[in-house]
Chains A and B, each alone.
Chain A
Amino acid sequence: MADITPTAPLGGHDARFGETRLTEVTDLALVSIAIPLGGEDALTSQLERAFALPLPDARTATSAKGRRLIRLSPDQLMLMWQDTDPDPARGVAAALDGTGYVTTQTGAWVALDLAGPLTLPALERVCPLALHPDSFPPGRFARTVMEHLSVVILNTGPDAMRLLSASSSAGSFLHMLETSLRNVSD
């Protein structure tokens, strides 16, 4: 009887461009949490209780105990943490005790970490948002479009960004970022 194992969309891609590194994050669990109508207060309390996580505003991630929470849309959140469970929504649903509607999103996304001096110059080629530190400080995130791809971009530190995009177009997503890095490399 075969046992089936997961494959990351980019197979754990890890590339260097001078001192800048582009790495796939293969163990990121993603769970969406929809805020029930009239249930924001209840969910807020439960998030605090279960995860010590404050409800985030539209532009900034909140984090606690290794988990990050962002607002994907006005009434929908996404919880992110390191976990290879194929159905992490189950555990989150239990923890939220009915205060939010959850889905497992892990498989829908591919995640890349970009860090180093070429991060901002490369992203300048594809990202319509202002990414300099005064406009987009660490902790800030946004959903935008880069070369026709929907991307979630999260500032994870000086000269470091975490980027998420749809897993089915992972190859195009990687190509887009690597072309940008090559174009701004010496």
Chain B
Amino acid sequence: MSAPRLPGALVDTGETLKFTWNGRQMSGHPGDTLASALLANGQRLVARSFKYHRPRGIFSAGSEEPNALVQLRRGAAQEPNTRATVAELFDGLHASSQNHRGSLNHDLLAVNDLMAPFFSAGFYYKTFMWPAKFWEKLYEPLIRNAAGLGRLSGQEDPDSYDHGFLHCDLLIIGAGPAGLAAALAAGRAGLRVILADEDFRMGGRLNEESYSIGDRSGADWAATACAELSAMALVRLMTRTTVQGAYDHGIYSALERCTDHLADSSGKPRQVLWRIYARRALLCAGATERSIAFGNNDRPGIMLAGAVRAYVNRFGVAPGRKVAVFTNNDDGWRTATDLLAKGVRVTAVIDTRKGGTRDLDGVRVDHGRQILDTSGRKDLKSITMDGGIRVEADCLAVSGGWSPNVHISSHMRGRPRWREDTAGFVTGGELPWGLSAAGAANGTLTLAAALGEGQATANRIAEDLGHAPDRTPLPRAEDEPFQITPFWHVTASTARAFVDLQNDVTTKDIAQSHREGFGAVEHLKRYTTLGMATDQGKTSNVLGLAILAEVSGRTIPETGTTIFRPPYTPVAIGAYAGRARGRDFRPTRLTPSHAWALENGASFTESGPWMRAEWFARPGEQGWRDSVDREVRMTRAGVGVCDVTTLGKIDIQGRDAAAFLNRIYANPFLKLPVGKVRYGLMLREDGFADDDGTTARLSETHYVMTTTTANAVPVFRRLEFARQCLWPDLDVHLISTTDAWAQFAVAGPNSRALLSRVVDDMDLSNDAFPFMACAEVTVFGGTPARLFRISFSGELAYEIAVPSRYGDAMIRALMQVGKDLDVVPYGLEALGVMRIEKGHAAGNELNGQTTAQMLGLGGMVSQKKDAIGTVLSQREEMTRDDGLRLVGLRPLERSEKLSAGAHLLNPGDPQDMAHDQGWISSVAWSPTLSHAIALGFLKNGAARHGEVILAHDPLRGRSQKVEVTSPHMVDPEGTRQRG
């Protein structure tokens, strides 16, 4: 049963929300977080700590929470390590505690607490080492089992996520008093503003303190400010949005939680990761309170003093009935006065500062005293001061001071600066370009000053950007006293004093780390894991380094901070992925004949982003080999058609196009006649083969280059580099036409007959249109087309191109018209088999490690002109006569299969790399020759045709004899393609 709320709370007590905690039904109100609702229901024990499994309660009221990590939601949407302090309550919410074996109340692993001496800092560097063989079978599984806090559901994330891009003049990070004042000024000045706050309600600490601004409560003023801002067209208010990181040139990332506060996402993206381009940014992220280290300072009921105020003021929940306050500064006293004002009993205020005189009616006040220890393992019962004085308390509000949230300002090489007067780090060093800070984030910790600084800084930015500033006077507000005398830890405590609550790091660990030589602050972090948990040390980093400073005899500035990195709070992997999941991981490219291929039994394979038909299964075929063998046989016997649109097509025009090509290709291109096509070999500048294709000359100044599918984009990029950077005064122009033309290979003895029915008014005889001719033609009564007589299959073959919108109609027409010629569609596999039979190099042979010489094309590299790669291609090692050379291979035992990737060895040689003779690059079953064939690279291969060597495949455990042949295994004279 939930207790009635204290007056003035910002929750809607008129509506009740039901939720479940560890299977128990509880209730709360709209405006609650899970933490405030749990406290309202008297649930004080909420977690077990990481290492020692100590009982823990809610510590804070914000995203800095180190203890109250819960499993939120059930099923596939279950999320571990969610902070109860930021989880918005909704009707039907399910949450459970994590990190215990057995129940939360009776955690079987609490025995770890007794073994604490063995789990001190760096224990895993000193243990689990012997015997070595125990590591894999025993130690590692043990550690893995114990590691982590919550558990993943193991199911696929059912939600979708999105990304987005926003542009603004001013990004204001945080909507507390400084941020709201800045937004009002900037908005009134006419800037395009984004105001982002991680909370679901803007106002920051105005919603949690008992401040007044003008004649209103702070919370009311915040609400009014928001109303004014939301009416401004150029102001975008983003609640539930955490700015996660600062990046180069004014770019920020922000995570917006869109549906985490709803029972159902209803198909909308759960979260949006925004990329914000801000001309200026203002960090108004406030400050985070820190604790003090003393014996047993981690019991359920011990909380940050500001958090106690938040629960009392904002949520109307008293976290205890007998509340004590432990503070080293003026701000902690506000907790006592706020509690008294709401009728909650305060049992003591203990101020570490000596010589204070402040009093509180009816409250025991101790100046210059410390808390040594506490009692109440699962629930705070009392505190013990020095001198043995014991005071009853079921809630202890601790204030060790406030640390400005400088994180964002330090994401780009910045190192914050220590301020003695407020005992906190403020922004310092190199700030991200365009970023400034205002309010508590800037060390301006009092209300009136924060409001004023927000307005003044926004006005300065407005003027910088050419706008008139806003001169509206700010309402009256107080500058509450803030005096602090740093006090970090109670050295007299004998019990463990916790610094990092989430990773169970104590003051003893810090001292030990320093003793063992890990005294640099970055080493302290990694050796003790202080600050490495999911809270990234938000409440413990400064405390930890201050203690380190003390034990190592340095000042705090000398000790320094660790480096801050994005993200500010944990981000789901799904949010980073956005839409890049499953099939949407990257775009898919489809050929113009794709729909037709789907209708005709095609099986598809991914070729980079392209979907290409690999074969076209016919009814009755038992597997892909049946289909592929048939396609090869039918093409070589009749006519086959294959969609080759995916190969890169680059249109090249200009007075100097010929000269350009002559410098790009290793072989000569200047004298290619109009109406002819030539094979071109492109080298990399280091002399290795890069890509190949054919280039057709359509007119004096007009060429069309083809590239391999995979290299279409990189080749275009390199051509543009050559055009713009190497030879900027050549008149040559490029544009990709890969998608502009649907292109089909038509191959086989009946190909001429088929195309004669398709191409209008054209003599396709061998004399009129010989091998390697090209022409602009029309097809089917006038549709413009291009015809190229080139052959990858080695058959009499052509490629016919039509504007791509005609591609679908074209393939259907070709199939229709060629019926009586036994036309067959063939896919990538059959294309591959045929080119291997012919000994044509493809991707496996052009893998970036092979040279023209190796490919048997050494003679193509012209020495009479300067072209890319020519010079370094002639290096001695690369032009050896006995170097690796492309050969054909067939198994001596004809029925055997061959292994792609197998290494070639001389029979009798040791089977090691020192005796390596080369490798097999491509393998296929040849329906034409009725046995397996391969292409490969063999040392001195040109001189070894007929030799029998060994193909050694240690991966598949095969070694077999193979015969070396010419790579041109079918129709070696090339009579078919020239007929």
Contact = CB atoms under 8 A, between A and B. Distances in A.
Interface string B149-166: 000000000001011111
Contact of A168 (B267, B654, B738, B806): B738
A106 B805 contact: yes
Contact of A172 (B587, B733, B812): B587
Contact of B784 (A8, A37, A87, A132): A87
Interface in A50-83: 75-76
A36 interface: yes
A60 B691 CA distance: 37
Contact of A4 (B645, B730, B736, B783): B783
Interface size class, chain B? 35 or more
Contacts of B268: 183
A130 B806 CA distance: 37
Interface in B717-743: 729-731, 733, 735-742
B739 A5 contact: no
Contacts of A18: none
A4 B813 contact: yes
A104 B803 contact: yes
Interface string B586-618: 111111000000000000000001100000000
B215 interface: no
Residue in B591, B804, B813 with the greatest tally of chain A CB atoms within 10 Å: B804
A7 to B, nearest CB: 5
Nearest to B610: A168
B655 A36 contact: yes
Interface residues of A, number: 53
B816 interface: yes
B813 A106 contact: no
Given A127-B165, A148-B586, A168-B739, A3 B803 contact: no
Nearest to A36: B731
Given A7-B805, A86-B805, A125-B164, A101 B783 contact: no
A159 interface: no
Nearest to B739: A108
Nearest to A90: B784
A149 B275 CA distance: 18
Contacts of A2: 780, 809, 812-813, 816-817
Contact of B166 (A90, A103, A109, A124): A124
Contact of B803 (A38, A87, A171): A87
Contacts of B584: 172, 175
A3 B165 contact: no
B277 A4 contact: no
A1 B780 contact: yes
Contacts of B167: 130, 132, 135
Contacts of A9: 805
Contacts of B735: 32, 34, 76, 103, 105
B817 A108 contact: no
A30 to B, nearest CB: 9
A183 B161 CA distance: 9
Contacts of B588: 169, 171-172
B41 interface: no
Contact of A103 (B160, B164, B591, B740): B740
B740 A108 contact: yes
A180 B587 CA distance: 15
B585 to A, nearest CB: 9
A124 B164 contact: yes
B587 A147 contact: yes
Chain B contact surface mostly: mixed
Nearest to B815: A2
Contacts of A23: none
Given A1-B780, A76-B733, A179-B579, A128 B275 contact: yes
Contacts of A36: 654-655, 731, 733
A116 interface: no
Given A34-B735, A124-B165, A127-B165, A4 B804 contact: no
A107 interface: yes
B810 interface: yes
A95 interface: no
A184 to B, nearest CB: 9
A55 B562 CA distance: 56
B269 A5 contact: no
Tell me which of A101, A166, A170, A182 has the highest count of chain B C-beta atoms within 10 A of its own C-beta.
A101
Nearest to B578: A147
A99 B160 CA distance: 51
Given A130-B167, A167-B739, A107 B781 contact: no
A35 B738 CA distance: 21
A170 B315 CA distance: 52
A172 B585 CA distance: 11
B372 interface: no
A95 B449 CA distance: 70
A3 B813 CA distance: 8
Contacts of A35: 733
A9 B784 CA distance: 19
B79 interface: no
Contacts of B737: 103, 105, 108
Contact of A107 (B269, B805, B817): B805
A105 B810 CA distance: 19
B803 A101 contact: no
A150 to B, nearest CB: 10
Interface in A138-172: 147-149, 166-172
A32 B653 CA distance: 12
Nearest to B165: A128
A24 B272 CA distance: 28
B338 interface: no
B822 interface: no
Contacts of A147: 579, 587
B804 A108 contact: yes
Nearest to B591: A168
Contacts of A169: 587-590, 609
B165 A4 contact: no
Contacts of B780: 1-4
Given A104-B803, A107-B739, A108-B740, A171 B590 contact: yes
A4 B587 contact: no
Interface in B685-739: 701-702, 729-731, 733, 735-739
A171 B591 CA distance: 11
B740 A130 contact: no
A168 B809 contact: no
Interface in B551-595: 579, 584, 586-591
B91 interface: no
Contacts of B881: none
B579 A37 contact: no
Given A130-B277, A169-B590, A183-B160, 18 more contacts: A1-B757, A7-B809, A8-B805, A34-B653, A34-B733, A37-B730, A101-B733, A103-B735, A106-B740, A106-B803, A106-B805, A107-B742, A108-B740, A108-B804, A125-B162, A168-B590, A172-B589, A182-B267
The 8 closest A-B pairs by CB, nearest first: A34-B733, A107-B804, A172-B587, A6-B805, A4-B809, A130-B167, A101-B653, A108-B740
Interface of B: 160, 162-167, 192, 267-269, 272, 275, 277, 579, 584, 586-591, 609-610, 645, 651, 653-655, 701-702, 729-731, 733, 735-742, 757, 779-781, 783-784, 802-806, 808-810, 812-813, 816-817
14 contacts: A1-B817, A4-B802, A75-B733, A86-B783, A101-B654, A105-B740, A106-B803, A124-B164, A125-B162, A126-B165, A168-B738, A168-B739, A176-B579, A182-B267
